[in-house]
């Protein structure tokens, strides 16, 4: 799966593709059979083009038909006690697990790269800017430490909601059919818990009309793109030729123009910023769907979640990879920073002169950087 109109989409590989969703749905059906004592080796479907989902409004219905036809020995047990939403919701959870794991891996790499930048450039002085204008002196090390704190915030938020629970409730969230096939309500709960264990997921009561598990992950992904968007914006501004304080890592064939051979565009930052701009409306759609849920299975608001969650997830993974590459290879022009700062005097010294502060007027620069580095290492600040 690649998206021509979302350059970089290939970085997400096969995460959350149609094939992976189908494989995840089959995993749910297999785990349910195994939990019921009817283990079966349900094989993946080589050609998913036959899954005509429009007829029933979701892809589980045609999938179950195919699986029953191909697995006659367990056909009567397959899917019995489940409903389409159980299978699809839990399959989405499995796909999200791969997304969050990949994103956290990238966040960890970013933490390492940004901690290195912050420490290495704690003495690299530059002009701080507020409302686009020179403010007071700062250091690039502190700017990198602020980026680091944002990435650490994102990692904490994403890690806190990465374990999304299994979603199994039967036709209307009452566990009626599971209780019937298991023999009792308590046995039905045990059956759900066993299925969750086989899938490596937490268990909890049905959340088929309470969508916080999905909206929390969506919000966490946006927290990530927010942090990366800030970094990209700073790099975009600082890489303008008339500023020239930062530049992206150079790679053959990247950053060129179809018409102007003299250009070296900061493409990574542009694409990261694109993701940061696009992500919040997708999370808003997830919240709108949650708020519009009615009865025991919504008419449309459940359905809008699927592609929205996939789009947000894949775009986040792409931006995560691009940000890792950006911060790991970022070029810092310390001389240009020093030149710009020197040219900003005496105006940039106005606050120091007014308050009587000493040169170089960097306040708690080192202490703030040290606090960010300690946090990155998991130490108390």
**Where in the sequence numbering do the catalytic residues fall?**
257, 297
* Count of Cβ atoms closer than 10 Å to residue 270 Cβ: 16
Q: Which two tokens stand for residue 143?
A: 């700017």
Do residues 334 and 121 touch, judged by C-beta distance below 8 A? yes
Question: Residue 249, SS3?
Answer: coil
* Count of Cβ atoms closer than 10 Å to residue 41 Cβ: 8
341 vs 350: CA distance, rounded Å = 13
85 vs 173: CA distance, rounded Å = 10
Contacts of 261 (CB under 8 A, 6+ apart): none
Question: Residue 329, SS3?
Answer: helix
Q: Which two tokens stand for residue 76?
A: 């009567």
With CA atoms as reference, report the closest residue to 319 among 287, 352, 277: 277
352 vs 361: CA distance, rounded Å = 7
Per DSSP, what are the bridge partners of residue 137?
Answer: 127
25 vs 23: CA distance, rounded Å = 5
34 vs 301: CA distance, rounded Å = 32
């Amino acid at each position: 799966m690649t998206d021509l109109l979302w350059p970089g989409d290939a970085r997400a590989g096969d995460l959350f593709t149609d094939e992976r969703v189908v494989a995840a749905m089959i995993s749910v059906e297999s785990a349910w059979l195994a939990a019921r004592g009817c283990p079966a080796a349900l094989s993946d479907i080589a050609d998913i083009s036959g899954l005509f989902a429009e007829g029933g409004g979701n892809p589980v219905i045609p999938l179950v038909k195919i699986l029953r036809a191909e697995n006659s020995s367990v056909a009567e047990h397959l899917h019995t006690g489940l409903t389409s939403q159980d299978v699809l919701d839990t399959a989405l959870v499995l796909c999200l697990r791969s997304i969050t794991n990949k994103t956290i891996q990238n966040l960890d790499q970013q933490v390492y790269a940004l901690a290195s930048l912050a420490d290495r450039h704690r003495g690299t002085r530059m002009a701080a800017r507020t409302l686009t204008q020179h403010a007071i002196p700062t250091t690039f090390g502190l700017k990198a430490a602020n980026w680091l704190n944002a990435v650490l915030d994102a990692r904490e938020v994403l890690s806190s909601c990465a374990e999304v629970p299994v979603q199994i409730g039967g036709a209307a969230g009452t566990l009626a059919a599971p209780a019937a096939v298991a023999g009792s309500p308590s046995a039905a709960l045990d059956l759900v818990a066993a299925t969750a264990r086989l899938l490596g997921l937490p268990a909890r009561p049905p959340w088929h009309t309470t969508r916080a598990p999905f909206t929390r992950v969506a919000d966490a992904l946006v927290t990530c793109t927010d942090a990366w968007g800030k970094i990209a914006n700073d790099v975009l501004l600082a890489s303008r030729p008339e500023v020239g304080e930062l530049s992206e890592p150079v790679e053959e064939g990247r950053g060129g123009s179809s018409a102007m051979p003299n250009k070296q565009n900061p493409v990574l930052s542009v694409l990261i910023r694109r993701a940061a701009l696009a992500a919040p409306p997708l999370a808003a759609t997830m919240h709108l769907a949650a708020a519009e849920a009615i009865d025991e299975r919504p008419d449309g608001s459940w359905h809008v979640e699927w592609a929205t969650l996939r789009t947000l997830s894949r775009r986040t993974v792409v931006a995560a990879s691009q940000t890792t590459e950006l911060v790991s290879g970022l070029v810092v022009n310390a001389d240009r920073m020093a030149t710009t700062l020197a040219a900003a005097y005496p105006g940039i010294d106005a606050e120091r002169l007014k308050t009587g502060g000493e040169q170089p007027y960097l306040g708690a620069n080192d202490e703030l950087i040290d606090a960010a580095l300690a946090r990155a290492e998991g130490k108390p600040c």
